[in-house]
Amino acid sequence: MNRAILNQLDVEAEKVVAKYDQKKAATLTLLHMAQDKVGYVTPEIEAWVSKWTEVPVVHVHEVVTFYSMYHKKPAGKTHIRFCTGTSCALGGYEKILSHLKKKLNIQNGEVTKDGKFSLEEAECLCACECAPMMQVGDKYHMDLTEKKVDQILDAHK
Amino acid sequence: MSEPILSRNFNIPDAHKLSVAESRGAYETAKKVLATSKPEDVINAVIASNLRGLGGAGFPTGKKWQFLPKDNPKPVYLVINADEGEPGTCKDRYILERDPHQMIEGIIISAFAIKSHKAYVYIRGEYVEPYRNLQAAVDEAYKKGYLGKNLFGGTYSLDLVVHRGAGAYICGEETALLESLEGKRGLPRLKPPFPAIVGLFGCPTIINNVETVACVPHIMKNGAEWFVKLGTPTCGGTHLFSLSGHVKKPGVYELPMGIPLKEIIYNYGGGIKGDKQLKAVIPGGISAKILTAAEIDVKMDYDSLKAAGTMMGSAGIMVMDENTCMVKMLYYATKFFSHESCGQCSPCREGTGWAHKIVTRMYHGEGTLKDLDTLLTIARNMEGRTICVFADAAAWPIQSYIGKFRAEFEAYIQNGKGKDLKPQEAVLQHG
Ligand SMILES: Cc1cc2nc3c(=O)[nH]c(=O)nc-3n(C[C@H](O)[C@H](O)[C@H](O)COP(=O)(O)O)c2cc1C
């Protein structure tokens, strides 16, 4: 299944690589592209990126493990990054995070049984003016309350 | 402040779209500069304007541009640092998301000045929505001939690539950013050579913050003298201050360089939430040393804050009321630095992890008085001993929180506070 998806991405990959002055510079972008389609970074994806960037697979793997946004194992359909930075702490995020955990019945780094959500306690996401906040999928949700968290989760059901 | 400059379009609906931006004057200055000025004219104007880098270090922008080698046969790159990650800071997000054309116009004029024909914007990976607005703005600019070959029908050409990071605070450090942009782990490089000599792909490179380049069109439009007058004698212009924590009206405020910190907190921020007493303020992002309530009579500019023993940094102001627990605040600071250390230099890799372990234990009621001195020793052994200043930044919260609130730390330890913290708070796992 991976292979078919990656074959489809080849057309786009060629355009991406062409934008950069050196092929290896496309590494992060290609990883984002493939992860968006597959859900996490598989060994096939690493090999595919290595093919396009002409850097050894081991080097691609090193990159994957360095950056927090690349999932090394399957994430939920919607990934939640909950900000645990200083401003969110001043805004009392702990209570809202435990509410979210109770609701999803998962801890940091886990995926819900139905595979719908995964949770990551993130470092500062730089929306400090609207603390506490979390990122659900791509979107920033700010000035969180327990009620707001309920509404956001319901909208993703 | 009379007229907003950098933030003038922040509340205009759809200002990220080219038609709206152009109706508000976007690209007029770039067109004029490219048609009538020489690159040296721009550099001279930027030098005369006293513009200083707004990414944290406050280095004079025009002077940095002059470090580029003369008669250089290699391509020159302009790289924009949009990796905003300093806790307490949210200013660049406003430009990227709400007024990307302002930054693109700044990139055009800045790249023209340094004779670069290729620019990269490195935007933090989590900023997906700002990225979409920015990429759409770049696409629109290309379509109209404002980017690409022969800008505005003239002779100058410039390509612009938006590049997404993938979650690593250290990539905000300029040489780690270059490594990351080259497709590698974000490990800072030894300096010298500085990026102006050996930067991206081994070529001369200028790295500037989003807000820094956004200032450039305004300088070219209104003149260097106008920009100088907005600020202090050593630093021109305004700054986007991010205000968060226990204030009534948190937000991003554009205010002149040198504005008193008190005025930001009590006038613009509306004072302390619940009308409580102020306890402490971090003036420039988590890396800046903390100020006690008695120390906030300070102006917000690079020199004044330095004189006050702290720094402007990213101008991320975090306000703490009388009920704030300093042990808990230090816990959050050490958690951040231990999670984000890139691991390249041992004093930092080991020091940040060790400090966080001790502070976590202390926070949960298992600390000893000796721990305080151990922490200070760890901090001293991180300062000035590593490739980049991340380790120094990790040391400063330890030194300043314990240094200024030692009695509170001692009381917390002696009274066995923290023992009642819920276990789920205790198992915050990171990395
Ligand atoms: C650990 C660390 C993190 C940094 N993060 C950022 C950042 O997120 N954004 C930024 O513009 N500069 C950041 N900087 C500063 C950059 O290294 C660099 O000085 C800046 O991008 C230069 O642009 P300027 O002169 O326009 O400010 C960071 C520096 C360090 C040491």
pLDDT tens sequence across B293-313? 999 999 999 999 999 999 999
Asked whether residue A49 is assigned to any structural domain, the reply reads: yes
> Residue A133's domain spans which residues?
78-155
A87 and A119, same domain (yes or no) = yes
Residues A36 and A91 in one domain: no
Per-residue pLDDT reduced to its tens digit, B307-356: 999 999 999 999 999 999 999 999 999 999 999 999 999 999 999 999 99
Percentage of chain B modeled with pLDDT above 90: 95
Same domain, A61 and A86: no
Run of H or E including B414: helix B406-414
Residue type, A132: P
Task: With cut-offs at 50, 70 and 90, classify the pLDDT of residue B430.
Answer: very low
Give residue A41's pLDDT band: very low, low, confident or very high (50, 70, 90). Answer: very high
Q: How many residues are given for chain B?
A: 431
CA dist A34 and A143 (Å) reads 32
CB contact under 8 A, A135 and B126: yes
Whether the predicted pLDDT of A3 surpasses 90? no
Q: Does the predicted interface ipTM exceed a cut of 0.95? A: yes
Does residue A71 lie within any of the structural domains? no
Between CA B376 and CA B371 the distance in angstroms is 9
Q: Does B316 touch chain A (CB under 8 A)?
A: yes
Share of chain A above pLDDT 90, in %: 94
CATH number at A104 reads: 3.40.30.10
The answer, for B265 touching chain A at a CB cutoff of 8 Å, is no
For residue B339, the number of C-alpha atoms closer than 13 Å in the C-beta half-sphere is: 23
For residues A103 and A127, state if they share a domain: yes
Closest C-alpha to ligand 1, atom 31? B173
Query: Is residue A97 predicted with pLDDT exceeding 60?
Result: yes
Give the pLDDT score at B426.
45
Q: Most B CBs within 10 Å: which of A66, A81, A136, as the mutation test of the B interface?
A: A66
AA identity, residue B330:
L
Q: Per the CB < 8 Å rule, is B429 touching A109?
A: yes
Q: Is residue A15 one of the residues assigned to a domain? A: yes
Q: In percent, how much of chain B has pLDDT > 70? A: 97
Indicate if A83 and A150 belong to the same structural domain.
yes
CA distance B222 to chain A (A): 31
Q: What are phi and psi of B428, to 5 degrees?
A: -55, 110
- Compute the distance between CA of residue B67 and CA of residue B101 in angstroms, rounded to an integer: 27
pLDDT of the residue at B236: 97
Residue A17 shares a structural domain with residue A52: yes
Residues A58, A89, single domain; the answer is: no
Say whether both A62 and A82 belong to one domain: no
Q: Which long-range contacts (CB under 8 A, 24 or more apart) does A33-38 make?
A: A33/A9, A34/A5, A34/A6, A34/A9, A35/A70, A35/A71, A37/A5, A37/A9, A38/A2, A38/A5
Average pLDDT over residues B162-185: 98
Q: Which residue of B has its CA nearest to A49?
A: B183
Contacts of B430 in chain A (CB under 8 A): 121, 123
Give the ligand 1 atom nearest the CA of B84.
Answer: 8
Minimal C-alpha gap between A118 and chain B (Å): 15
**pLDDT tens readout for residues B66-100:** 999 998 999 999 999 999 999 999 999 999 999 99
pLDDT digits (tens, 9 = 90+) for B110-144: 999 999 999 999 999 999 999 999 999 999 999 99
- Residues 6-65 on B with a CB inside 8 Å of A are none
Domain boundary among A66, A90, A114: A66
Q: Name the residue in chain A with its Cα closest to that of B244.
A: A129
The whole-chain average pLDDT of chain A stands at 96
Map B250-312 to HEC letters. CEEEEEECCEEHHHHHHHHCCCEHHHCCEEEEECCCCCCCCEEHHHCCCEECHHHHHHCCCCC
Helix (H) or strand (E) holding B78: strand B77-82
Domain assignment of residue A72, yes or no: no
The pLDDT of residue B419 is: 82
CA of B55 to the centre of ligand 1 (A): 5
Pairwise CA distance, residues B267 & B290, whole Å: 21
Nearest residue to B236 (alpha-carbon basis) of B48, B63, B40:
B48
State pLDDT tens for residues B358-394. Answer: 999 999 999 999 999 999 999 999 999 999 999 999 9
Rounded to the nearest whole angstrom, what is the distance from the C-alpha of residue B388 to the centroid of ligand 1?
11
Calculate mean pLDDT across residues B37-62: 97
As for how many domains chain A has, the answer is: 2
Q: Which two tokens stand for residue A144?
A: 């969180």
Written as six digits, the tokens of B229 are 């007058």
Cα–Cα distance measured from residue B374 to residue B154, given in angstroms and rounded to the nearest whole number? 63
In a domain, A73, yes or no: no
Last residue of a domain, one of A13, A46, A66: A66
